[in-house]
Structure 1
Amino acid sequence: MKKLKSSWLPVLMTMAMLFSVTSCGVKYSFTGGSIPDGMKTVSVLYFENIASMVYPTLSQNFTEALKERIRNQSRLSQVNDNADATFEGFITDYSISPAAVEAGTDRAALNRLSITIKVSYHNKIVEKDNFEQSFTRFKDFSGQLQSAQEETLNKEIITMLTEDVYNKAFANW
């Protein structure tokens, strides 16, 4: 009889855990995000580039990448106005700086491309989740930056930034 009781323990614990997750008013997805019940729409406004150094397509590329991440990792419909949640902001810094100097010279052995964005997230459903925050990501490279290399580095940095923004808004990280 004792053996039968102990075999039910894992089943009961699993049921209790599932009940607590589904009853808290937040829907979880397999991508790690949690979207509040009642949230159906999102708006991503254009992220203007106000950095002193400008990469011509950065604003468009970042804005579209954030929209794509939300589209691919959530059930939210994207609308232009009157959304349940809104992302807006600016690209505040785009810079190339030395990351390491060659021994015995003044030349950079390694350079760093950095992008900083400032994001305002407004959540009409759960207002305590609102935030305004800057995010910075970078990639290091050697030698002079070529245009094809710059495009690749930008894509990689944008991917990291959109992940950071998505996680902050929907994964509570």
Structure 2
Amino acid sequence: MSLAFPKRPGIRRALDAVLLAAFLTLLSGCNYSFTGGGLPQHIRRVYIEPFENETPYPGLESLLLRELQDRFPGSLGVRLASQSSADAIVRGKLKSAEEQTTNINPNTDASGRIGRLEAQVQVSFDAEIYDVQNDKVLWRGNSITALGAFNPNTEDVDDGRRKALQQAVQRLIEGAQSQW
């Protein structure tokens, strides 16, 4: 007879085993945390520099900055800071932003035009996370592409740009997390 599982009816014993396994899993998880959020432990404060904008769309860098400020700190366990007090700096350059038709309706409308069923905005950018204290680049991504699909019948190109910038921020976060 096992001390851990005294003789009990089959279902009751199975339930005890499942509860014990769940408790041990929960207990072992208590010591695990995301300190640093994927960045070295000394990186606690981050300054996000406005990206240079080489696209023909003024204001795109402001939208990206806002999206980065909203999502980057929480995803990586850091706080926003001024450039002078930051442990790391996020910076980069928006290289291109293009609208593309990805799916068309082969039937023409009354005016003879072919309708678009789906389009996307493709944003290309370079980015890096720079460690101020150790004077080195922690992560660098060149020519990263992010896509924002939208339905041109119900959404406009700004929706596609917003979605592409959200994906750009996600790629930057994933890049930072993949290094540690």
If the length of structure 2 is used for normalisation, what is the TM-score? 0.66
Amino acid paired to 1:102? N
Contact 1:99 1:108 in 2 (8 A): no
1:112 matches 2:156: no
Note closer, same or farther for the CA distance 1:125–1:34 as it changes in structure 2 (3 Å cut).
farther
Note closer, same or farther for the CA distance 1:152–1:14 as it changes in structure 2 (3 Å cut).
closer
Q: Aligned-residue CA RMSD in angstroms?
A: 3.7
Moved more, 39-48 or 94-103: 94-103
What are the superposed Cα offsets for residues 85-140 of structure 1, whole Å, 9 maximum, x if unpaired?
Answer: 22111111111122123326684623322222211122457968422232322213
Moved more, 83-92 or 72-81: 72-81
2: CA distance, partners of 1:96 / 1:72 = 30
Note closer, same or farther for the CA distance 1:164–1:117 as it changes in structure 2 (3 Å cut).
same
Unaligned runs of 5+ in 1: none
If the length of structure 1 is used for normalisation, what is the TM-score? 0.69
Unaligned runs of 5+ in 2: 6-15
Q: What corresponds to 2:152 in structure 1?
A: 142
Percent identity at matched positions?
13
Amino acid paired to 1:4? A
What are the superposed Cα offsets for residues 51-109 of structure 1, whole Å, 9 maximum, x if unpaired?
Answer: 2xx22211111012102212444342322146322211111111112212332668462
- Considering only CA atoms, is the larger Rg found in Structure 1 or Structure 2? 2
The count of residues paired between Structure 1 and Structure 2 equals 160
1: CA distance, partners of 2:97 / 2:78 = 32
Contact 1:98 1:108 in 2 (8 A): no
